[in-house]
Amino acid sequence: MKQRRRNFFWGSLFSLCAVLVFPLPGEDIAISGGIAWESMEMNATVSLNLASAGLKFPNGRVQGEEHIRAAYPSLIQSLLSDIPVDSSRTVGDFIKSGGLSMEALTNFAAAASLSTPVFSPDLLLLRAPYTLKLSDLGAMLPGSSRPAEILRTVGSNPSPDYTGIIIIVSKQLPAHGMRSAYLARPCIFPKIWDTEMNLIFEKNMLKSGHSGPVVRYAKERDIFLSTPSGLSEELVSLAGERPLRIIAREIFGKRPTDPVIDREDALLITGNERNRELLREGKVVFVLADEVLNEAPGGN
């Protein structure tokens, strides 16, 4: 059996929106995919080479679709295993540790929405696009058995109430404790730290029953618009008209996913009960560089 190939189109070593290709023996079928982090979706396309599979256009369409459906479960497993969960672990790491069962991952993959398969312009390939919701995957991953407490501080001056929290991490920043600088990268469960390395926010601080993503990812252009709040309509629905905007100072993690914010900025959140509630409600936006959020899935 030929070794499965993996082609990674990552902006750098730490890029987290991968394009992967896994051919089967005979190279008649392969899967490619990438993550749209703004919508928290994985888009994957299974492509079948009709000639290599011994099929002909157009009569081979039904057989081709059956071939794709049969191959999809095994192909998508390998692609899903490389999704970054946090600054140090992937979905594959959770499988290895027993934190996520293969059965659960198979059920998640089976719940993908499938668009109508289409032929490539040269009629050589039949392509079937699948879409999977990463929020649903995140809900399957284990966290702490008890909610984490949000740091409470008392400042000399009360901080105002905000309607959301926006952390801008769109430029290269120093990596905490290192001499290197990187672009922040997305993951399913990022954290927020302050410059004294107090943990300000993580998944387990969310309210019980929270069903959305831990944070929302956005591009710079979505927060500098000519609207009263400067935000896109979608972000206003999450962060409101008067969000707290913070520019991160550093990034942290083996994979640089976690912004480090100035201690004084952190106090604006932790010193006000209403602002602490924003963390519990997941009203948090990370603004990242376009190139880590806008890598389209690759094709064959």
Q: Digits of tens for pLDDT over the chain (300 positions)? A: 333 333 332 333 233 333 444 444 445 899 998 999 999 999 999 999 988 888 888 788 999 999 999 999 999 988 899 999 999 999 999 999 999 999 999 999 999 999 999 999 998 899 999 999 999 999 999 864 566 889 888 765 678 999 999 999 999 999 998 989 999 999 999 999 999 999 999 999 999 888 889 999 999 999 999 888 899 999 999 999 999 999 999 999 999 999 999 999 999 999 999 999 999 999 999 999 999 996 533 333
Are 194 and 260 in contact, with CB atoms under 8 Å apart? yes
Quote the pTM value.
0.85
Give 133-137 contacts, CB < 8 A, sequence gap 24+. Answer: 133/40, 133/41, 134/35, 134/40, 134/41, 134/42, 134/83, 134/188, 134/213, 135/40, 135/211, 135/212, 135/213, 136/108, 136/111, 137/80, 137/83, 137/91, 137/108, 137/188
Number of residues in the chain: 300
DSSP annotation of 10 reads -
- Amino acid identity, position 295: E
Helix or strand run (H / E) with residue 115: none
Computed on alpha carbons and rounded to an integer, the radius of gyration of the chain in Å comes to 21
In degrees and rounded to multiples of 5, residue 97 shows phi and psi of -80, -10
- Look up residue 21 and give its two tokens: 């290709």
